Amino acid sequence: MAGTAEAPTTNRIGLQKKDYAGSKSTLCIGCGHDLITARLIDAAFDNSIKPEEIVKLSGIGCSSKTPAYFVSRSFSFNSVHGRMPSVATGTALANRNLKIIGVSGDGDTANIGMGQFVHVMRRNLNMVYIVENNGVYGLTKGQFSATADKGSKLKHGQVNHMHAIDLCALAVELGCRFVARLFAGNTKMMRQVLQAALAYKGTALLDIISPCVTFNNHEGSTKSFPWMKSNELALQDIGFVPAYDPHYEEMGHGEERVVKLGDGSKITIKALDKDYDPSNRAGALQLLAEHHESGKVPTGVIYLAEEAPRFTDHLGMVDVPLSSLKEDTLRPSKAVLDEVMDSLA
Amino acid sequence: MATAQAAEPETRTIVNDLVLHVATANGSGSQTSNMVLLRTLFQMGIPVSGKNLFPSNIQGLPTWFTIRANGKGWIARKQDADIVVCMNPDTSDEDAAAARKGAILIYEETLNLADKRPDCVHYAVPFKKLIAEACPDVRLRKLVINMLYVGVCAQLFDFDMEEVRKAISTQLAGKQKAIDLNVPAVEYGYKWAAENLKKADPYRVERMDANKGKIIIEGNAATALGLMFGGVTVVTWYPITPSSSLCEYLEDYLNKYRIKDGKRTFAVVQAEDEIAAVGMLAGAGWAGARAFTSTSGPGISLMNEIIGLGYFAEIPFVICNVARTGPSTGLPTRTMQGDVLSLFYASHGDTKHIVVIPNTPKEAFEMAGEALDLAEEFQTPVFILSDLDLGMNFWMSERFEYPTKPFKRGKVLDKEALDKLNGQWGRYRDVDGDGIPYRTYPGTPHPKAAYFTRGTGHTPDATYSEKPEDWKNNMDRLARKFETAKTRVPKPEIVNNGHAAGLIYFGTTTEAIREALAELDDRHGLKLDQCRLRAFPFTQEVEDFIHRHERVYVVELNRDGQMRMALGAELPRLAGKLRSVLHYDGMPLTAENVVSQIVEFERK
Ligand SMILES: Cc1ncc(C[n+]2csc(CCOP(=O)(O)OP(=O)(O)O)c2C)c(N)n1
Ligand code: SF4
Ligand SMILES: [Mg+2]
């Protein structure tokens, strides 16, 4: 797969892994969220991302705390519960050149934040939207969230009788062009998809099943490590070939699908189970619906379309960030005021 | 044939002092006719105001437009109209019944109002018949029938027809077809009135010269202009009356005047709701934009959580509240000063906000730019407190002055500044002792530029902290910052002549207060000093003003005396001197109401 056999001590922009570190995690030991954090550090390092060119935004929850635990050299905004998407949108308006990593939880997204999630999926910001999905509210001690599967049980036996919200299906439906479901325990797939999502110019929604070891890792939970280990259905073997990788010309042969990104990098997708076609929207929705019945959890790239113009491209803005504009550009001349005043006299 | 029937023949004449009230149906195109009447009076140099009383509906429900023209410059709302034009058959009985004794009624002949109000002056006009003659095309009649009353009024009250024609051209700027349709209709009405109506009332207007160099504008357009010249870059909004037209004007102006090499130097985004609108401001302000949204009371309620985040995480953005009557959906198309407390102390926990309070379009223009400055200077949400009366009604105004002061972008460290500091800085350190910290914009290319923004407890270096002393120190610094703001916000406008009683007011009550003060003096021999509040926090001048007076009336448009409560809360030792003069029926204030309440107080 990708040509990064051994991680070099410095990446292409001369930074070391430690330059992508964050402060020490305060989450429970074994929490799935920490696994995601670790892979984010890897992916940012591997992609040689300049820390000042990304911003990390989050809502509220254990998951939303994690931006403190990776890439401290990047700006970060831990905002309010369920509203990260709007804060991210505003950030993109002020500075269209920033790459946004949005981190949220299933409660933060599928419950309180559902309205904002739905609308941000329609926008296509330059953002990786990560839902660290454990089926419960970790931070408020284990209540069900809206992604809990029908029939799944809480620690003390309460059963969820409502239909689960499938964020991947919603994202596909709403026009998101890069949609993946991942399992925090599947380190390799997560790392490759994170790298691809970071390189992708547009919104990538990553719904990552990330078990809460404290409140939702018991028998009867469908978001536990054991459940996922036996029910994950990896759809594909995913590879990411960065633009600078000297080997990439040799990649992408055989039955692999290769998706080329604007920056020259490539995502390689090799179907494992059957020939699942991630470029087919209707097929993606069908796959997700089928597996709600089977109980299996398909992971991999559910849907991937070519990069398309982003929200900020449609606004007709100047190329430089609005935040960099100064008075000489922002205040029209006196003649303009005179013209307006004359029209009102 | 219609004739005028007066109770008694009229011998007086009343020049340049009239209130003209037009009743029509919403969506009938009467706005153009009413604006033509308003503009004509304005062009004739007579001080004038126009207030639209409209329903929360698009078509069919009754709507009223009131014009007050007054040579002495009294243009506040008045309780009773002198002239009532009844164009809406659904409300004509009520409109006639509500008219004061001796009022002049102009109406469609077939409505037969003469029997119902024998104490009024009647001009019955066969509008339907006339429009059939004046406008051969049946389909267009509905569009121009309202122009007939413009002609009738022009003839009866001596409007200058040349000015009427000019007003039509201005109002329908560039739409020649519409002009060619409307002008003849007005002329037809004028001619008919001249030939068929016998003048039986004392009202007439005469050219004067009070409006030189003035403009007519709605407050929302003025605020929009202020924001454009103030360098706004990110605008988000969710439609709500009476604020929608502000962002619509703003978008139009920006599209016209803020394009560089064919590209926009701004972004305007319609958000999915007010929570998202203000969330976008939080992101944009954080990332270095001059960010703005406008809304009304219900939107403010929704925005509260993120307003608190903005206060605590110290993020600049500006919200204009064009207030309407609440609580709840309330009276969405009526005015109120009912969001004083919900702005001053918006959100949970210890919060206080900078609020600027314009009273005229000119001030709305100036304060919009000032609000953008204050937000960035103090790194905090700043509010503009407007209301429906200012925002959506038509006001004469001085021309706006071109702003020449440079933008105040606040304490921002760029790459060079960070280099000089060797990257040694802390986001929430009070380096200058004024409570205002330094910040960096996301994207600043320096390894030490970044910091972690959060709504949770933090240290001066922006790290997480739950320590009691860190919390308290930070809250004390925010209080210090608010103290600093007292020296920078717009100062009150004070008239002090050493009287025992004082009067505090703010915003759109200004015109009614001016008139009331003159009347209190002329008719009742009561003299009061005045203080017009222009901002929160209250500055030292406000405290001194209350201190110097024995008793102080606080005039406001709400039931509970919210501004009085805020004054009492901020200046507790002086609270006992404050008395509320209130008005809260959804309508703009009248001088009559202020006079009667104050006279009653003063008699006690
Ligand atoms: C407005 C508001 N309501 C409620 C809360 C309390 N609260 C904090 S986190 C949370 C749920 C978080 O769940 P999730 O997003 O799934 O994150 P997890 O902790 O599971 O990672 C709730 C309800 C809050 N912070 N703000
Ligand atoms: S409560 Fe659950 S989600 Fe939160 S840190 Fe602990 S394990 Fe993770
Ligand atoms: Mg959760």
Q: Kindly determine whether residue A87 and residue B286, on different chains, have CB atoms separated by under 8 Å.
A: yes
In 3D space, the residue among B409, B371, B405 whose CA is nearest the CA of residue B288 turns out to be: B409
User: Is the confidence at residue B316, as pLDDT, over 80?
Assistant: yes
In 3D space, the residue among A43, A307, A287, A36 whose CA is nearest the CA of residue A168 turns out to be: A287
Contact A134, A211 (CB under 8 A): yes
Q: Kindly determine whether residue B282 and residue A319, on different chains, have CB atoms separated by under 8 Å.
A: no
Q: Would you state the structure tokens that stand for residue B57, as one six-digit string?
A: 């509906």
User: Is the confidence at residue B1, as pLDDT, over 80?
Assistant: no
pLDDT per residue, tens digit, chain A (345 aa), is 444 556 558 999 999 999 999 999 999 999 999 999 999 999 999 999 999 999 999 999 999 999 999 999 999 999 999 999 999 999 999 999 999 999 999 999 999 999 999 999 999 999 999 999 999 999 999 999 999 999 999 999 999 999 999 999 999 999 999 999 999 999 999 999 999 999 999 999 999 999 999 999 999 999 999 999 999 999 999 999 888 776 655 444 456 888 999 888 999 999 886 678 999 999 999 999 998 888 899 999 999 999 999 999 999 999 999 999 999 999 999 999 999 999 999
Q: Quick one: residue A42, left, alpha or beta (phi over 0 = left, psi -120 to 50 = alpha)?
A: alpha
A140 lines ligand 1 (CB under 6 A): yes
Task: Give chain A's radius of gyration (CA, Å).
Answer: 21
**How far is A317 from chain B, CA to nearest CA, in Å?**
4
The DSSP bridge pattern shows strands B48-53 and B62-70 to be antiparallel
pLDDT at B423: 96
A82 lines ligand 1 (CB under 6 A): no
Task: Give chain B's radius of gyration (CA, Å).
Answer: 27
* Sole residue written with tokens 């976008």: B280
Q: Which CATH number fits domain B14-212: 3.30.930.10, 3.40.920.10, 2.70.70.10, 3.40.50.2300?
A: 3.40.920.10
Q: Would you say the C-alpha torsion B361, B362, B368, B371 has a positive or negative sign?
A: negative
Q: Would you state the structure tokens that stand for residue B477, as one six-digit string?
A: 């610094």
Mean pLDDT score, B260-264: 97
Q: Where are the beta strands (DSSP E) in B165-240?
A: 203-204, 214-218, 234-237
pLDDT at B10: 64
In 3D space, the residue among A149, A150, A140 whose CA is nearest the CA of residue A209 turns out to be: A149
Q: Find the DSSP H helices in B258-323.
A: 274-286, 297-313
What's the pLDDT band for B347 if we cut at 50, 70, 90? Answer: very high
Number of neighbouring beta carbons within 10 Å of residue B164: 24
The DSSP bridge pattern shows strands A127-133 and B83-86 to be unpaired
* Cα A180 to chain centroid, rounded: 8
Per CB-CB distance under 8 Å, the chain A contacts of B451 are: 75-76
Contact B485, B356 (CB under 8 A): no
Contact B424, B415 (CB under 8 A): no
Atom of ligand 2 nearest to the CA of A33: 8
User: Is the confidence at residue B3, as pLDDT, over 50?
Assistant: no
User: Is the confidence at residue B8, as pLDDT, over 60?
Assistant: no
pLDDT at B604: 81
Atom of ligand 1 nearest to the CA of A133: 16
Q: Which CATH number fits domain B493-603: 3.40.50.720, 3.40.50.2020, 3.40.50.2300, 3.40.50.920?
A: 3.40.50.920
Domains B217-398 and B493-603 alike in fold: yes
How far is it, in rounded angstroms, from Cα B148 to Cα B145? 6
Q: Find the DSSP H helices in chain A.
A: 32-46, 62-65, 84-94, 106, 114-123, 167-173, 187-199, 225-231, 281-294, 311-314, 327-330, 334-344
Q: Model confidence over B162-199: pLDDT tens digits?
A: 999 999 999 998 899 999 999 999 999 999 999 999 99
Lowest mean pLDDT among A68-82, B6-20, B319-333: B6-20
A130 lines ligand 1 (CB under 6 A): no
Contact A200, A126 (CB under 8 A): no
Q: Model confidence over B424-471: pLDDT tens digits?
A: 999 999 999 999 999 999 999 999 999 999 999 999 999 999 999 999
Ligand 2 centroid to residue A178 C-alpha, Å: 27
Query: Is A336 an 8 Å CB contact of chain B?
Result: yes
Q: How many CB pairs under 8 A join A and B?
A: 215
How far is it, in rounded angstroms, from Cα B570 to Cα B345? 12
How far is it, in rounded angstroms, from Cα B125 to Cα B113? 11
A34 lines ligand 1 (CB under 6 A): no
The domains of chain A are located at 17-320
Distances (CA, A) of A273 to A232, A238, B441, B569: 12, 13, 47, 70
Cis peptide before B242 (omega within 30 of 0): yes
User: Is the confidence at residue B5, as pLDDT, over 60?
Assistant: no
Atom of ligand 1 nearest to the CA of A139: 19
pLDDT at B341: 98
How far is it, in rounded angstroms, from Cα B473 to Cα B380? 18
In 3D space, the residue among B191, B180, B195, B192 whose CA is nearest the CA of residue B143 turns out to be: B180
Mean pLDDT score, B207-236: 97
Cis peptide before A67 (omega within 30 of 0): no
Lowest mean pLDDT among A234-248, B5-19, B409-423: B5-19
Q: At a CB cut-off of 8 Å and minimum separation 6, what does A210 contact?
A: A31, A32, A33, A35, A36, A63, A132, A133, A134, A184
The domains of chain B are located at 14-212, 217-398, 411-489, 493-603
Secondary structure, 3-state, B327-377: CCCCECCCCCCCCHHHHHCCCCCCCCCEEECCCCHHHHHHHHHHHHHHHHH
**Degrees (nearest 5) of the Cα angle B591, B593, B595?**
70
Contact B96, B86 (CB under 8 A): yes
How far is it, in rounded angstroms, from Cα B604 to Cα B598? 10
- Smallest CA–CA distance from A23 into chain B, residue: B463
Contact A202, A219 (CB under 8 A): no
Distances (CA, A) of A150 to A206, A245, A285, A292, B327: 22, 44, 19, 9, 40
Residues within 8 A of A (CB atoms), B 142-201 only: 173
Three-class SS state of A23: coil
Contact A296, A231 (CB under 8 A): yes
How far is it, in rounded angstroms, from Cα B303 to Cα B297? 10
In DSSP terms, which residues pair with B21 in a beta bridge?
B66, B84
Taking domain A17-320, whether its CATH number is 3.40.50.970 is answered by yes
In DSSP terms, which residues pair with B233 in a beta bridge?
none
What's the pLDDT band for B112 if we cut at 50, 70, 90? Answer: confident
How far is it, in rounded angstroms, from Cα B21 to Cα B134? 24
Atom of ligand 2 nearest to the CA of A30: 7
Distances (CA, A) of B120 to A12, A49, A249, B168, B321: 90, 81, 93, 31, 42
pLDDT at A106: 98
Q: What is the mean pLDDT of chain B?
A: 95
Out of A68, A93, A340, name the one closest to residue B225 (CB): A340
Distances (CA, A) of B113 to A58, B6, B192: 66, 13, 20
The DSSP bridge pattern shows strands B317-323 and B83-86 to be unpaired
Residues of A34-61 as b/e, b for ≥16 C-beta within 10 angstroms?
Answer: bbbbbbbbbbbbbbebebbebbbbbbbb
pLDDT at A246: 61
Spatial strand order in the sheet of B529-533: B493-495, B529-533, B501-506, B551-556, B578-582
Ligand 2 centroid to residue A62 C-alpha, Å: 6
The DSSP bridge pattern shows strands B354-356 and B535-536 to be antiparallel
**Degrees (nearest 5) of the Cα angle B43, B44, B46?**
100
Q: Model confidence over B509-527: pLDDT tens digits?
A: 999 999 999 999 999 999 9
Q: Would you say the C-alpha torsion A245, A249, A255, A258 has a positive or negative sign?
A: positive
Cis peptide before B327 (omega within 30 of 0): yes
Q: Kindly determine whether residue A72 and residue B216, on different chains, have CB atoms separated by under 8 Å.
A: no
What's the pLDDT band for B9 if we cut at 50, 70, 90? Answer: low
Amino acid present at B24: T
CATH number given to B217-398:
3.40.50.970
